[in-house]
A and B are shown apart, each in its own frame.
Chain A
Amino acid sequence: MRRYSAFAIAREGARYHQGWERAWNSPVPKKKYDVIIVGAGGHGLATAFYLGKNFGITNVAIIEKGWLGGGNTGRNTTIIRSNYLQDPSAAIYEKARSLYETMSQDLNYNVMFSPRGVIMLAQTQSEIRGYQRTAHANALQGVTTEWIEPARVKELVPIINLDGPRYPVLGGLWQARGGTARHDAVAWGYARACSDMGMDIIQKCEVTGVMQEGGKVTGVQTTKGDIACDKLAMVVAGNAGDLAGQAGFRLPLDSVALQALVSEPIKPCMDVVVMANTVHGYMSQSDKGEMVIGGGTDGFNNYTQRGSFHHVEETVRALIETFPIIGRLKMLRQWGGIVDVTGDRSPIISKTPLGNTFINCGWGTGGFKSIPGSGWAMAELVAKGEPGPLAADFGLNRFREGRFIDESVAAGVAH
């Protein structure tokens, strides 16, 4: 792999950019791999990356039915934060956030991580109590967050209207090292690094069946033929229930649509991310100047990657109260992704009823922020066959044993 650098840009500039190589290979699948990962979203690619980097396992295929990063990884609003309430969540989200800090260097790929700060607004008395509790929990977990008063919110977000008619701003939970990153670049950066380690990224190849023998998986049936493997990792987000069904087990989750939208670009007006959970809306400004907006999920099971319009309307209505300045903006694009939501709003990183098969899913509305930490933990689970400390609490067995990791407050809004 030729490294990207200022020197490389100068070199290519001098020869009409003829020398750039393909960022990753598109090979024909081999007959067999040590590990097959289904799903080339951020989590699948990060799992592959750390299998190679931390465990030296590189005979790996990542199989993707569409194009890499074309699932939720390329559809999200890129908010990164780690101010969760429960200890297992804080551990994995903070691990992920800290890995984002050096991701561009680690991958030699600019993922545009921008730790611009994230505010979660408190707009009801119960939210004040909830966020103050989270701030205390975060202090104990070693995650730097801070409760801030309305005046400080206004300082950080001059365009905010503190005295909204329905929900005045009463303060906020502030994480200064939260922020955003370029979602496509995260997928592309990992893909390039994985390809460089000799892994095969196989796109436009859908897994349609899971071949088994004596309680173990022997390989997968795909639209490009059968491929054998020693171990299987399912990392397919909204499609997890369907893939698990192919393998003969059920999951504690529902797949629903989550939407986002962006406005026409305007001059810089807001340099932090603002989330308003009570009214179900959040907003940030992209480097291109677009206001990036998201809201809540639809209520019903859905695989169409299309959401209901009235949710967009609700989100925008709430945000206009809080940010009157956006009232006259035109919206450029709106889209949806299918997210996999569990009962306790926490993910699943787990062994399965099939000995050599592992699953990573249930990140629901908030798994972009966790990509590197999740890949780190999942690689360990796949390599060793047992979860390490980051993944241990996120097993499927927590539902049977009643050990929920309840993040319905921290994840109250889709983010």
Chain B
Amino acid sequence: MLTLHCPNCGVMADETELHAEGEAHIKRFGPGSSDEEFENYLFERKNPKGVHFERWRHVAGCGKYFHAARNTMTLEVYGTYSAQTLAPPKTLVNAIKKKHPEWEGWA
């Protein structure tokens, strides 16, 4: 079973306590944006084979959101971090890059 560390309450949470919320760090668009920008923001997803940055919610725990970096090919978890950020922490990105030099990196 997938277990993730909730950075909000500090618990190692089982998958059954968590809810996956999809791709993280999506750039949001508001009034005045083009149809293309809305389409991209609302629907199009990276859905990568490999490193994925995603949002999770600790629904059956503290109830709060956080971010995780996970590999969709191996299910390896690289780490979790606060939801209050627009990009993953540099240290985490560097650690992943070190493990997978062929990874195109955070974009």
Point out residues on A near B: beta carbons under 8 Å. Answer: 239, 241-242, 245, 250-255, 298-304, 306, 308-310, 343, 399-401
Contacts and interface: CB of A to CB of B under 8 A. Distances in A.
Interface string B21-50: 011000000000001101110111111110
Contacts of B48: 241-242, 245, 301
Given A250-B45, A299-B19, A309 B1 contact: yes
A245 B74 CA distance: 20
A252 B43 contact: yes
24 contacts: A241-B45, A242-B48, A251-B44, A252-B43, A252-B44, A254-B23, A254-B45, A299-B19, A300-B70, A301-B23, A301-B52, A301-B72, A304-B73, A304-B74, A308-B1, A308-B2, A308-B15, A309-B1, A310-B1, A310-B15, A343-B42, A343-B43, A400-B39, A401-B35
B1 A250 contact: no
Contacts, number: 72
Contact of A400 (B19, B35, B47, B49): B35
B107 interface: no
A299 B16 CA distance: 11
B40 A301 contact: no
A253 to B, nearest CB: 7
Given A253-B47, A310-B1, 15 more contacts: A241-B48, A242-B47, A242-B48, A254-B22, A298-B20, A301-B23, A301-B47, A304-B74, A304-B75, A306-B75, A308-B15, A343-B42, A399-B39, A399-B42, A400-B35
A166 to B, nearest CB: 18
Contacts of A302: 72, 75
Contacts of A301: 20, 22-23, 47-48, 52, 54, 72
A255 B45 CA distance: 10
A338 B26 CA distance: 23
Contacts of A253: 45, 47
A273 B72 CA distance: 33
A303 B73 contact: yes
A304 B44 CA distance: 22
Nearest to A240: B47
Interface string B47-63: 11100101000000000
B91 to A, nearest CB: 23
A304 B74 CA distance: 7
Contacts of A252: 39, 43-45
Nearest to B74: A304
A250 B40 contact: yes
